[in-house]
Amino acid sequence: MRTVRVNAASKSYDVLIGKNAVTVLGEQAKKVCPGALKALVVSETNVAPFYLDVVKEQLEGAGFEVTDYVFEAGEQNKNINEIAGMWNRMAEAGFTRTDFVVGLGGGVTTDMAGFAASTFLRGIKVIQLPTSLLAMVDASVGGKTGIDIPKGKNQVGAFWQPSLVLEDTAFLKTLPDEVFTEGMGEVTKHAFIMDLKLLEKLEEAAGDIRSDEDLLEEIVYMNVSDKASVVGEDETDNGRRQTLNYGHTVGHVIERDSGFTKPHGICVAKGMGIVMDACVRAGTLAEDDAERMKDLLKLYKLPTEDDITPEAIVEGAMNDKKKRGGTLSVILVNKIGQAEIKKMTAEEFLKFLSV
Ligand code: GLY
């Protein structure tokens, strides 16, 4: 089992990564949640049939009284009604401030479990058990929690760091191919913005990191280490953490315009491709470097373009929460392995995308 320590300003905690990591859940929960008597396992309908029983057994075996809350899978259910359901379930079960929540699922689940924990009794502990690649390498680490509202994705939420993240890479075996591919959007993003070694490893693996369990574990570990270093420097997204939004300013607009039917990681890949092209046109990114990055995206079956217009991107982006005041923070990669934050007005962003 590999360990990454996250040292966020508000809290430090471990991310444990490895095959069958779930088997240490009970003992680890006792360690990080001393005094806890009860646990609420939050999961969704695609994941629960596979892993809810084993997680509950682990917790019950360690002496916790366990209750669960399983919601219908899908981004459309990432809303306040489900959070209220979780609050009520905990209240009915008599949870106190020392009890805890476990998020078992992909990014939607870990975001919601974290948000329910951050608000119940003004904040109780959460342990994250991500089951998707995207949630392992990104969503479950770093304490961003929240829900969507009709005006946009993740518009309501809190920074609430978990007490432990347990990443059982054997869970990835049951992940449908297209969901695994989506996670590669965030994996390639880490490579582009900060990790040349990861980029080379992904190139060497030639589009397949799934069939070799050790390689998969190593790739997850490299991504979590990258994310931990960023969160350790900037927990609340005021500086370096914004570089994790590479491809997201454009990707979020594509995702929202599709009514959230296009997966997040796929939209991020499209967004990165669109920004790469704009940087090449602006003369700040070498064409060869853009080709190298786009080849990697294609190798992992990710798209690099979309037919959305520059006008639609800018209009959508100006409504996004990544806007600060009247400007947007657009993340650029002009040299592979290095990201920069460029403030742009709507007019500048339109010009950047159009010229
Ligand atoms: N997913 C981007 C972040 O955690 O900041």
Claim to verify: residue 217 and residue 350 sit in the same structural domain: yes
Structure tokens belonging to residue 196: 């040349």
Claim to verify: residue 231 and residue 298 sit in the same structural domain: yes
- CA distance linking residue 124 with residue 171, whole number of Å: 26
CATH number at residue 137: 3.40.50.1970
pLDDT of residue 151: 78
pLDDT of residue 323: 62
Claim to verify: residue 99 and residue 59 sit in the same structural domain: yes
Claim to verify: residue 168 and residue 189 sit in the same structural domain: no
Backbone angles phi, psi at 160, to 5 degrees: -145, 100
Residue after which a domain boundary falls, among 149, 174, 199: 174
Domain count, the chain: 2
pLDDT of residue 324: 65
Beta sheet of 65-71, edge-to-edge order: 2-7, 12-18, 164-168, 125-130, 100-105, 38-44, 65-71
- CA distance linking residue 274 with residue 236, whole number of Å: 27
Which of the 8 DSSP states describes residue 10?
Answer: S
Claim to verify: residue 222 and residue 344 sit in the same structural domain: yes
- CA distance linking residue 255 with residue 259, whole number of Å: 7
Three-class DSSP labels, 17-62: EECCHHHHHHHHHHHHCCCCCEEEEEEECCCHHHHHHHHHHHHHHC
Instruction: Report how far ligand 1's centroid is from the alpha carbon of 145 (Å).
Output: 10
pLDDT of residue 150: 84
Residue after which a domain boundary falls, among 115, 143, 174: 174
CATH number at residue 243: 1.20.1090.10
Instruction: Report how far ligand 1's centroid is from the alpha carbon of 165 (Å).
Output: 15
Instruction: Report how far ligand 1's centroid is from the alpha carbon of 27 (Å).
Output: 29
Structure tokens belonging to residue 347: 């007019």
Three-class DSSP labels, 205-225: CCCCCCCCHHHHHHHHHHHHH
Q: Where do we find the tokens 């037919």?
A: 307
Q: Which domain holds residue 223?
A: 178-354
- CA distance linking residue 54 with residue 32, whole number of Å: 20
- CA distance linking residue 309 with residue 354, whole number of Å: 9
- CA distance linking residue 131 with residue 13, whole number of Å: 19
pLDDT tens for the 355 residues of the chain, in order:
999 999 999 999 999 999 999 999 999 999 999 999 999 999 999 999 999 999 999 999 999 999 999 999 998 999 999 999 999 999 999 999 999 999 999 999 999 999 999 999 999 999 999 999 999 999 999 999 999 988 778 999 999 999 999 999 999 999 999 999 999 999 999 999 999 999 999 999 998 899 999 999 999 999 999 999 999 999 999 999 999 999 999 999 999 889 888 999 999 999 999 999 999 999 999 999 999 999 999 999 999 999 999 999 999 998 865 666 679 999 999 999 999 999 999 999 999 999 7
Residue after which a domain boundary falls, among 174, 200, 229: 174
Q: Give the E-state strand segments of 141-203 in sequence order.
A: 144-149, 152-159, 164-168
Determine the residue type at 178: E
> In terms of DSSP bridges, do strands 152-159 and 327-335 run parallel, antiparallel, or are they unpaired?
unpaired
Ligand 1 probe mutation, 133, 137, 244, most atoms within 8 A of CB: 244
Claim to verify: residue 41 and residue 155 sit in the same structural domain: yes
Instruction: Report how far ligand 1's centroid is from the alpha carbon of 124 (Å).
Output: 22
Claim to verify: residue 214 and residue 136 sit in the same structural domain: no
pLDDT of residue 220: 98
Claim to verify: residue 229 and residue 334 sit in the same structural domain: yes
> Under DSSP, is residue 264 helix (H, G, I), strand (E, B) or coil?
helix
Claim to verify: residue 346 and residue 200 sit in the same structural domain: yes
Claim to verify: residue 90 and residue 185 sit in the same structural domain: no
- Pick the atom of ligand 1 nearest to 142's CA: 4
E strand or H helix at 343 = strand 338-344
User: Contact at 8 Å (CB) between 112 and 81?
Assistant: no
Instruction: Report how far ligand 1's centroid is from the alpha carbon of 23 (Å).
Output: 28
pTM of the complete model: 0.95
Measured from CB, residues less than 6 Å from any atom of ligand 1 are 138, 142, 144, 241, 244
In sequence order, which ranges of 74-143 are alpha helices (DSSP H)?
80-92, 107-119, 133-134
Ligand 1 probe mutation, 144, 182, 272, most atoms within 8 A of CB: 144
Instruction: Report how far ligand 1's centroid is from the alpha carbon of 296 (Å).
Output: 22
- CA distance linking residue 291 with residue 205, whole number of Å: 18
pLDDT of residue 355: 73
- CA distance linking residue 103 with residue 107, whole number of Å: 9
Query: Which residue's alpha carbon is nearest to atom 2 within ligand 1?
Result: 244
Instruction: From 25, 203, 226, 35, select the one nearest 129 (Cα to Cα).
Output: 25
Claim to verify: residue 305 and residue 327 sit in the same structural domain: yes
- Pick the atom of ligand 1 nearest to 245's CA: 2
Claim to verify: residue 165 and residue 184 sit in the same structural domain: no
> Under DSSP, is residue 98 helix (H, G, I), strand (E, B) or coil?
coil
Structure tokens belonging to residue 37: 């008597």
Instruction: From 217, 221, 307, 209, select the one nearest 262 (Cα to Cα).
Output: 307
